[in-house]
Amino acid sequence: MLDALTLDQMRIFVAIAEAGSFRAAASRLSRVQSAVSHAVANLEAELGVSLFDRSGHRPVLTPAGRSLLSDARAILLKTDTMRARARGLGEGVELGLTIALDPQFPPVLACAALKETHRAYPSVAIRVLTASLRVAVHALRERRCALAISGIDLPDPHIERRALALVQRAAVVAASHPLGILAAAGGPVTATDLADHVQVVAEDPSPLTQGRDFNVLSPGTWRVGDNVTKHALILAGIGWGNLPLWLVERDLAEGRVVRVPAAEFGPKGETMANAYLMHRSDEHLGPAARAFCDALLRMAGHRTAP
């Protein structure tokens, strides 16, 4: 009868398959080898099939063993997830966590912190809002998220901020664009030069600063809602614009775009902006939110994020 199967037997079965021997599995599980052998023999008896060929120096999975290994792993994964979810509910862990993420912030850092948080709290459902410009702060004020990552400096007594990293942005243009040819020739790029060409600008949809322009120098602008579209338009040679350096590093290295060395954007056309991790001071952060904050702050440190 399958009812006599135990999770312990399946864990031992998987451990032997992964470790390659009964002895190695016993060591991994802190068991004596005889107990491991006995558990597998009972499992094989319950299933009515041989899981391992023991005729050689090391046990080898039989065709039946290979077929059933994925089932055992799936059962153990579901069981461990259920146990973690129950433990989290008992400890007051959040059911879900919403984070507003400014697309200027390097995603590699945010993803690494999210991965670590998920590993510690697999029962918590994560929702990441793409929140450009002031949208992250607005979402936090409206309690539509528990945490926000943004470079916007809008002091608010209800919002606690922690500095994460300095994010570099660069004014760039396609190498084939007239501005690109001018920049590649080493000539100065003046404000007049910039004004003669289309500037691709990301719109600010937040009501906090809606209608205001930031770093817009050209009377001819194309407005977009995200960095992906902005990046594509610049690569197509339609205009120039500012983008996070991490987004265009490869394009710069492979010569698809060049920097626009305009004095308005500092040396080499670069600007720097602080990225902040924010939460409401009047809202309690749950264990998963605190774990994410700790991981992100540790990974960001005081480094300059390219």
Spans of all domains in the chain: 2-90, 96-165+275-305, 166-273
β-pairing, 147-150 vs 96-101, is parallel
Identity of residue 104: Q
> In which band, very low, low, confident or very high, does the pLDDT at 245 lie, cut at 50, 70 and 90?
very high
Please state, in angstroms and rounded to a whole number, the distance separating the CA atoms of residues 195 and 51: 73
Q: Are 11 and 29 a contacting pair, CB within 8 Å?
A: yes
Tens-place pLDDT, residues 202-228: 876 655 445 444 555 567 789 888 889
Range of lowest pLDDT (95-104, 133-142, 176-185): 133-142
Band of residue 88 on the pLDDT scale cut at 50, 70, 90: low
Task: Check residues 72 and 218 and name the one with the higher pLDDT.
Answer: 72
Shared fold status for 2-90 and 166-273:
no
- In sequence order, the β-bridge partners of residue 272 are 168
Question: Which of 49-63, 171-185, 259-273 is predicted least confidently?
Answer: 259-273
253 pLDDT higher than 70: yes
| Global pTM value | 0.64
pLDDT at 306 (0 to 100): 37
Instruction: Provide the CATH topology of domain 166-273.
Output: D-Maltodextrin-Binding Protein; domain 2 (3.40.190)
CA-to-CA dists, residue 194 to 181, 217, 220, 222, 286, angstroms:
13, 7, 10, 14, 48
For residue 126, what pLDDT is reported?
Answer: 95
Query: What is the C-alpha separation between 150 and 266, in angstroms, rounded?
Result: 22
Q: Provide the pLDDT for residue 234.
A: 95
Q: At residue 296, what is the residue type?
A: L
Give 273's pLDDT tier (boundaries 50, 70, 90).
confident
pLDDT digits (tens, 9 = 90+) for 1-33: 456 788 999 999 999 999 999 999 999 999 999
Residue in the structure block whose two tokens are 């602008």: 221
Query: Given pLDDT bands bounded at 50, 70 and 90, which one contains residue 131?
Result: confident
**pLDDT higher than 80, residue 282:** no
Q: Please state the rounded mean pLDDT for residues 117-134.
A: 89
Q: What are the start-end ranges of the E strands in the chain? A: 52-53, 60-61, 96-101, 125-130, 147-150, 159-174, 199-202, 221-224, 241-244, 257-259, 270-280, 304-305
Rounded CA-CA distance 243/70 in Å is: 45
| 96-165+275-305 CATH choice from 3.40.50.970, 3.40.190.10, 3.30.70.100, 3.30.70.270 | 3.40.190.10
Please check the confidence at residue 264 and state whether its pLDDT lies above 80.
no
Query: CATH second-level architecture of 2-90?
Result: Orthogonal Bundle (1.10)
